[in-house]
Structure 1
Amino acid sequence: MLSAYLSGADLTDSFDVRDDVDRLGVASAGSPLRISEDAIPYLLSTADLFTILLSSVGAGSSYQFLTGHGLPNLLPYCAIGILAGLLYVLRMGGRGHYSFLDAMSPRLGTGEIISCWCVTALLLVLLAFLLKIGPDYSRGAFVVFCFLAPMSLFVARYLSKIILREAVSRRAVGRRHAVVVGMPNEIASLRSQRLLARFWAGEVKSFTLSDADPSVSASADAAVMTSTIDFVRRHDCREILLALPWTDTTRLEFVRNHIRVLPVAAQLLPDVSVRSLASNRSSECVRSLAINVQSAPLSEAQRFVKRIIDIVLALLALVFFSPIMAVTAIAIKMDSPGPVIFRQDRKGFNGRRFTIFKFRTMTVQENGAAVAQATRDDPRVTEIGRILRSTSFDELPQLFNVLMGTMSMVGPRPHALAHDVQFESMLRDYAVRQNVKPGITGWAQCNGARGATPSIDKIAERVRLDLWYVNNWSLRLDIQILAKTFVEVIKQRNAY
């Protein structure tokens, strides 16, 4: 989006629906290569990781050489460098310092770099003490490393900002997609004055609401919002710009209630009246008048950190549980006829469908318009299935879902599509659960809200807990949920 602002490009009313490869940041044949804006946090964090690794190796080599010990064994220095890099990247990413806008800021972020590095160094000292690695790693080299690394990080961040600005100016960095929802006169005014670029909007498609009274146009406006939601999901748009009169609170609330089901940011742009008051102000002033009416549940940097942790934990869990999973597969095959793995369609992040994997625990494999929930002493549950369900071992194949990126270790539990349709008709906020990836375990499950949902009260309670998680996500909360999950597994509450 920023490239549109820097270039001052005139934005048209059309949305360039490119192929999937191009939308992921790689241009189609015959066009220049472009990097997606979403890839910037990954590139910056990787650069910092290698900077710290090289600093560790350089500090160890130079210190040992200058003290007359010759070239040392570099393996301990590589290990310390990788460990320090991961600790630093996780902390910086968790605080949002790898986001695109932060990277484009003229601020170098000296205080943030020093703060995160000091914490990283202290953690390294603690680990060195606990693991007693002193004899394998020179203390003098560590001191040199602690001073060399932050200076190298300053240089790396400064160079990355220069390179990124140049890439944006050459349009080598792709812009995020955005859509505009609003009244005809407001949208026309924005375009006639070429103001959308001031709000860093990229390629835009407009969805126009009716001019009629809200009570008269409710059904037509609802159809427009349904089309908007479908378009945003299909084209992976990341922002919604609202071009609505600030005095029309009824329509504002109407639009806001509809877009709550989308995991995207939304800004209310200044209307014609407000812009007239700031007509002689700078672009920065006009841009600051926009009101953030909705934020994405997780920033790009937070999604990146959560994804890294998911991959690491899933791999470790697969290694640890692989013997149990192998024995379970054999037991299922011997216990009853049918496949070892049960597959069922579910809705994931932003309403996208995916196939969930579980160990088969029933004699049926329902995956249609009607899916009966398991009940206590359900005759459809096999003998081995009862053991798997009580211990939650039937969920272990979902570790592959985590590695595939369709699920997370922690998040709202996905339900069968038939149940989604039923629950969405009962609870208005039910779909908001899909604003984050579904999880193997979640806040609702570790608070006892698991198993069947025979009443509206139980469904509402689970949704309430899931929405609390969506609105209060943090790495600390994920760790807390994972810890509480072990307790719940032992208690076996509502596990049948």
Structure 2
Amino acid sequence: MLLSSAIAGSAYQILISHDQLNLLPYFAIGTLAGLLYVFRMSGRDHYSFPNAMQAHLETGAIMSCWSVTALLLALLAFLLKIGPSYSRGAFVAFSILAPLLLFGARSIVKAALAAAASRKIVGWRPIVLIGSSSEVAALRRQRLLKQFGTGDVKIFLLSDANRPDAMHADVSTLNLASDFARRHDCLEILVALSWTEATRFELIRSRLKALPMAAWLLPDVNVRSLTQGASSECLRKLAVHIQSAPLSDAQCLIKRTADIILAALALLFLSPIMVITAIAIKLDSPGPIIFHQDRKGFNKRRFTIFKFRTMTVQENGSAIAQATRNDPRVTELGRILRAMSVDELPQLFNVLRGEMSLVGPRPHALAHDDQFEQMLSDYSVRQHVKPGITGWAQCNGARGATPTVDDIAERVRLDLWYINNWSLRLDAKILVKTFSEVLKQRNAY
């Protein structure tokens, strides 16, 4: 827009009006036109990656949007009486040149994206397709690639519904699909199933809950037949969104930026306390200063959590006993550190490394994770976001050990509420409330 306005205005002044060249009004008009155009086309998902990967050029959408933009510019020029500084001839030239450059730029971008995708430079995350053989056979792979991304389509076929062991076979297939989706950081999960198979659909949906990614139920053969061949263009609109990703890419970026800034500031201001604590631990009892233990983070990825050592043991195996009140394993200094949560401060380094967030569901030891997953079906949903140093559960009293099923169920309920209602404001509220909870020292032992 800016380029076409500058070219049209300067060419008109030099070739037609022979006036002294002044590009300032043309830059102003080009900038305003660009803002109006981009704002309107963004509402049409014109700049989304799947639409940018479509082979055809959106000629009708570009022309209609540009026509509205040009009319708005003409109206503003009339109301503000800027005719003397911006001639009608230059405006006509701009109105003709702009859509031509828009078509050319869009074509170049599409070709560049297609080349980059083919070389696996951008957009190369595979899509998992789960479905029955009849439904999958009726879909065209290339259409799925255009509508849902640019990676490979990895297909997992369900068993024949009439088989006596169909349920067991489906569970095995869904486990394989889930493992693949986690390992390859898949973009989305697609389900191709007859809409009449309610029981099988519920099984699939219950299994997909453990995955932190969006899932879509594609229209089946009967539904697509009603579109009379238009399903290639409206496949995504007909698909049913059965599961959302916990946080969008923009929200993840915002949260990550806040984590880095606040964690760095916290380390800067709390470093004297951490140095004093390290010296005290070394003098108090034999053993390392930092305690390391394996935990599961986002999407069940393992990482090593850092804490100041507060016990005489270094448990990190398949059997780990939770801390209890007056636990003999806790050192005298460790009781003070645990009561004030000073032992958690080294996790600021986990935050900077991207393994944790300042706010999120607290990660548990691997042995406890396996135990809690068997007890509660929604437990693994906690791993749809990065674990946190503190969380909504901790600042609402669900802190410390979880000796009963009711205790862990309450913590899971609070953690899921946080995931479903995340906002930067909520994170700030949790950080403030955490300080008051630490002062109360409830369930801290």
Name the CA shift for 1:386/1:102 in 2 (closer, same or farther; >3 Å).
farther
Counterpart in 2 of 1:265? 214
Counterpart in 1 of 2:68? none
Q: Please give the alpha-carbon distance, in whole angstroms, between the structure 2 residues aligned to 1:280 and 1:340.
A: 67
How far apart are 1:218 and its partner, in Å? 1.2
Q: TM-score, normalised by structure 1?
A: 0.67
- Contact 2:391–2:430 (CA under 8 A) maintained in structure 1: yes
Secondary structure in 2 aligned to 1:190? Answer: coil
How far apart are 1:475 and its partner, in Å? 1.1
Deviations 1:161-216 (A, max 9, x none): 8875453233353333211000011111114x854235334301111111124874
Name the CA shift for 1:400/1:282 in 2 (closer, same or farther; >3 Å).
same
Q: Please give the alpha-carbon distance, in whole angstroms, between the structure 1 residues aligned to 2:275 and 2:108.
A: 50
Counterpart in 2 of 1:171? 116
- Contact 2:360–2:388 (CA under 8 A) maintained in structure 1: yes
- Highest RCO, 1 vs 2 (Cα 8 Å, sep ≥ 6): 1
Determine if the alignment matches structure 1 residue 360 to structure 2 residue 295: no
Counterpart in 1 of 2:42? none
1:308 pairs, out of 251, 257, 260, with 257
Determine if the alignment matches structure 1 residue 279 to structure 2 residue 224: no
Determine if the alignment matches structure 1 residue 341 to structure 2 residue 311: no
- Contact 1:345–1:354 (CA under 8 A) maintained in structure 2: yes
Counterpart in 1 of 2:247? 298
The one-letter code of the counterpart of 2:183 is: R
Deviations 1:401-440 (A, max 9, x none): 0000000001000000000111111001101100000000
Name the CA shift for 1:104/1:478 in 2 (closer, same or farther; >3 Å).
farther
Deviations 1:246-280 (A, max 9, x none): 11111111100001000011111111111111133
- Contact 1:99–1:300 (CA under 8 A) maintained in structure 2: no
Counterparts in 2 of 1:445-460, with a 5 A limit? 445-460=394-409
Q: Please give the alpha-carbon distance, in whole angstroms, between the structure 1 residues aligned to 2:330 and 2:354.
A: 29
1:199 pairs, out of 147, 167, 171, with 147
- Contact 2:131–2:157 (CA under 8 A) maintained in structure 1: yes
Counterpart in 1 of 2:81? none
Larger Rg belongs to: 2
Counterpart in 2 of 1:369? 318
Moved over 6 A (4+): 96-99, 101-108, 158-163
After TM superposition, the structure 1 stretch with the greater mean CA deviation from structure 2, 97-106 or 471-480, is 97-106
Query: Taking every aligned residue pair, what percent have the same amino acid on both sides?
Result: 65
What's the C-alpha RMSD, in Å, of the aligned pairs?
2.6
Deviations 1:446-477 (A, max 9, x none): 10101011111001000111111111111111
Secondary structure in 1 aligned to 2:123? Answer: coil
The one-letter code of the counterpart of 1:249 is: A
Counterpart in 1 of 2:277? 328
- Contact 2:52–2:110 (CA under 8 A) maintained in structure 1: no
Q: Please give the alpha-carbon distance, in whole angstroms, between the structure 1 residues aligned to 2:181 and 2:300.
A: 11
- Contact 1:198–1:287 (CA under 8 A) maintained in structure 2: no
Name the CA shift for 1:161/1:447 in 2 (closer, same or farther; >3 Å).
farther
Q: Please give the alpha-carbon distance, in whole angstroms, between the structure 2 residues aligned to 1:390 and 1:377.
A: 12
Secondary structure in 2 aligned to 1:180? Answer: strand
The one-letter code of the counterpart of 1:299 is: S
Counterpart in 1 of 2:31? none
Q: Please give the alpha-carbon distance, in whole angstroms, between the structure 2 residues aligned to 1:98 and 1:337.
A: 59
Counterparts in 2 of 1:79-158, with a 5 A limit? 100=49
Q: Please give the alpha-carbon distance, in whole angstroms, between the structure 2 residues aligned to 1:314 and 1:297.
A: 23
Secondary structure in 1 aligned to 2:139? Answer: helix
1:240 pairs, out of 189, 201, 214, with 189
Q: Please give the alpha-carbon distance, in whole angstroms, between the structure 2 residues aligned to 1:160 and 1:310.
A: 37
Counterpart in 2 of 1:419? 368
Secondary structure in 2 aligned to 1:356? Answer: strand
Q: Please give the alpha-carbon distance, in whole angstroms, between the structure 1 residues aligned to 2:133 and 2:175.
A: 18
1:388 pairs, out of 313, 319, 337, with 337
Secondary structure in 1 aligned to 2:128? Answer: strand
Q: Tell me, which stretches of 5 or more residues in structure 1 are unaligned?
A: 1-95, 111-157
Counterpart in 2 of 1:495? 444
- Contact 1:104–1:161 (CA under 8 A) maintained in structure 2: no
